[in-house]
Structure 1
Amino acid sequence: MRKIALFGGSFDPVHTDHVNIAKSCFENLGFEEVWMIPTYLNPFKTKVNSSVAERLEMLDIVCKKFDFIKINKYEIEKQCRSYTFETIAAIKEEYPNYDFSFIMGSDQLDEFESWDHFDKLIKLINFKVFLRSSSYNKTIVKKYNLEVFSFSNNFLSSTKIRNLQDLVLQDNEINNYINNNLLYLEERVASKMSPKRFQHSLNVGELAKTLAEKNNLDVQKAWVAGTLHDVTKCWTKAEHRNYLQKWGPQLLTEPEPVWHSFTGSLHLEHDWLIKDQAILQAVFNHTVASPEMTPMDMVIFCADKVSKERNYPGVEQLREVVQKDLVAGFKSILKQQYLVAVKKHGIENIGTSLTKSYQHWVLDWGE
């Protein structure tokens, strides 16, 4: 009789502690396989933060690394909220000759008795409890004679991952998937800025995709860089200053209004763990450009300045130029930005980066 561990959860996203529990089941408890059962919607939650397809793709990354981990799609295929009792009963009926146990974290013990059809559930299957912390409900464990196990615990949670906490402990491939597909923007971006600023960010991402495709560039990278270009725009001056003092103190000589392009790039590198230099450089250069602009840099620079909600005088003409000729559009926008900055702040207060960019692309290259 095959010995199978059933492991249910939202897996939104799956993380290394989920994997470490599964590995402990296989390596220490004698289970031949661990079936991860992603919920369509957890009975104790009101929403999921990524789509079914995205959660399955992240789980598939795990399954390709560990052949004893499988995905059971019973709850997903039902396409509605499912309770643990119903799921286990259905799986046991489908596989009557398998020896199943159900995996749960110790953080679930407090609400364990409130699970649907609990009196039947506790008799239906054996439960294996894995310690998520040193403090847990020992009364429930003793009352139902539950087995408790430790594992290689990083004290991770999906909530932490969604909020950029402890990413160094997360699987790199899953983290890259999350970043490349712009998952969890509500927690990571929208909650940190005004609705207007967030909509601007989305608009820039969409225009960046269009411009990238038109210029035979990587569309996904343009989408990521465009959407995240203002990720630190709403930080306080103190937050910008402290971050630059840590990661780029030489940039503090630039005007404060452009700091967000530098902190944005550094934040994506050090906190989001994005390592793609094309994305990081495009975000870094999106405000005042540089003499070493790549076509991707120009795409993000231009998309930011002519995104669809922009309505300043002359923006329609600039949009047309950018669509026809990326370099010409970039130079036209850069020239306008330089002249406006000089008029508004004085040439001595616009910083060296904008001055160097203007000198290289407008004066040296000509119109």
Structure 2
Amino acid sequence: MNKKKIALFGGSFDPVHTDHVNIAKSCHQNLGFDEVWFIPAYLNPFKVEQHSTIKDRLAMLRIIEQKYDFIRINQYEITNNRPTYTYETLKYITKHYPDFEFAFIMGSDQLDSLESWNNFAELIQLMPFKVFLRDEDHYNKAIVDKYQLEVFTFDNHHLSSTDIRQLQHLNQQIPEINQYVNSHLLYLQERLASVMDAERYLHSINVGKMAQKLAVKWGIDEQKALVAGTLHDIAKCWSWEKHLWYLEHYLPFLVEEPKPIWHSFTGMLHLEKDWLIKDQEILQAVFNHTVGSIDMTWLDKVVFCADKISDERHYPGVEQYRELCFQDLEQGFKELVKMQYEQAVEKHGQNAIGILLTNTYNYFVKGEKD
């Protein structure tokens, strides 16, 4: 009886991406492996930290496992609750699954460090190593020849988890994984803290938390409120040139609105075009968070209010506004619109505050419905 052939594929998978899956597909479709076992690391011995939690990395891998019947997740290294060397993992698996035939899968980018792996002399004898070429022109051919390693190509998009975390090549990422990352606000340090100062980052986190609290209070989707609130100022620190480019390309009529509120519109566009967020409720809440519109949903109002009453705000009267928003969201929203409007008029003059804020004020505060 032939043994079942299993390809072992270890890594951080932070996040798992299209090229990981394409390597697994090649193992199954081209090399004849019955299954591919993804082995997520608790912590890669060559790294000092992971960028997302074990829970999130496993959840993303389970999305992949459900899509492909030949993919399995092996949690040996996760359950060890400590960094685990590949040698230890492979010894454990071969001992506990003696009826299977194994091979170890690696990317060619790991060849340079291969001989420095723990217990390498014994490791290389445990099972065959299959090398997939991340770059067909540049890889350590000397190591391949020295240990007579087999090399293979695959449907290679040249992706990396680092690039994905930094919003690069998301159009080639697995859509379900990208949706999970966005809806769970993973990789905020790479995606938010890198494009805003510490004060703006703290404000963004606080607005997300406040929006979530208000959503819980008023029976609104708290996760959407958390996401929209946290990401509401994603474009706040952009240059005017960058704002202008997005508006001219996608919403040119909004160039006429005051520059200080452009980030509401370009933030929405950035999340839609670059983050690939498809949830229209989240996008609209970001769009409306500064000056609102006459078509405000309850989620819009939650994020609008949270932006004005987040915990780090200390302007006169903010405590009263906070209390009101938790007592009567509609009235709290109207009072905050009134405050926003009056401050804008005082600072910039009636003719320089933009049509959107004027319309919001007239509709909700003055009651002009026509």
For residue 4 of structure 1, the aligned residue among 3, 6, 14 is 6
TM-score under structure 2 length normalisation: 0.97
Tell me how far apart the structure 1 counterparts of residues 256 and 144 of structure 2 sit (CA, whole Å): 60
Identity %: 60
* Superposition map of 1:116-127 within 5 A: 116-127=118-129
- Secondary structure at 1:363's aligned position in 2? coil
> 2:278 matched to 1:292?
no
1:301 has 2:304 as partner? yes
- SS for the counterpart of 1:35 is strand
Give the aligned partner of residue 71 of structure 1: 73
Q: Secondary structure at the residue paired with 2:13? A: coil
Q: Distance in 1 between matches of 2:81 and 2:198?
A: 31
* Structure 1 CA distance for aligned equivalents of residues 317 and 223 of structure 2: 29
Separation in 2 of the partners of 1:249 and 1:117? 61
> Aligned partner of 2:95: which letter?
E
Written as runs of structure 1 = structure 2, the 5 A alignment for 1:32-71 is 32-71=34-73
Per the TM alignment, residue 153 of structure 1 is displaced from its structure 2 partner at its CA by 0.8
Deviation at 1:139? 1.1
Matches within 5 A, 1:154-193: 154-193=157-196
Per-residue displacement from partner, 1:159-192 (whole Å, max 9, x unpaired)? 1110111111111111111111000101011121
User: Which residue of 2 is the match for residue 148 of structure 1?
Assistant: 151
Matched, 1:346 2:349: yes
Choose the corresponding residue for 2:362, options 350, 359, 363. Answer: 359
Q: Secondary structure at the match of 1:23?
A: helix
**Displacement after TM superposition at 1:360 (Å):** 1.0
Q: What is the match of residue 194 of structure 1?
A: 197
**Residue matched to 1:325:** 328
Partner in structure 2 of residue 101 of structure 1? 103
2:279 aligned partner: 276
In structure 2, distance between residues paired with 1:349 and 1:139? 68
TM-score (ref. length: structure 1):
0.98
Pick the aligned partner of 2:210 from 207, 210, 230.
207
DSSP 3-state at the match of 1:364: coil
* Number of residue-to-residue matches in the alignment: 366
Extract unaligned runs of 5+ from structure 2: none
Aligned runs of 1:127-138 on 2, under 5 Å? 127-134=129-136, 135-138=138-141
Measured after TM superposition, the shift of residue 97 of structure 1 is: 2.3
Distance apart, 1:243 and its partner CA: 1.7
Deviation at 1:224, TM superposition (A): 0.5
SS at match of 1:101: strand
- The match for 1:267 is 270
Give the match's secondary structure for 2:104.
strand
Query: What amino acid sits opposite 2:139 in the alignment?
Result: Y
**Long gaps (5+) in structure 1:** none
After the TM superposition, list the runs of 4 or more consecutive aligned residues in structure 1 that deviate by more than 4 angstroms.
none
Aligned to 1:227: 230
CA distance in 2, matches of 1:144, 1:310: 62
The CA distance in 2 between the partners of 1:237 and 1:311, in whole Å, is 28
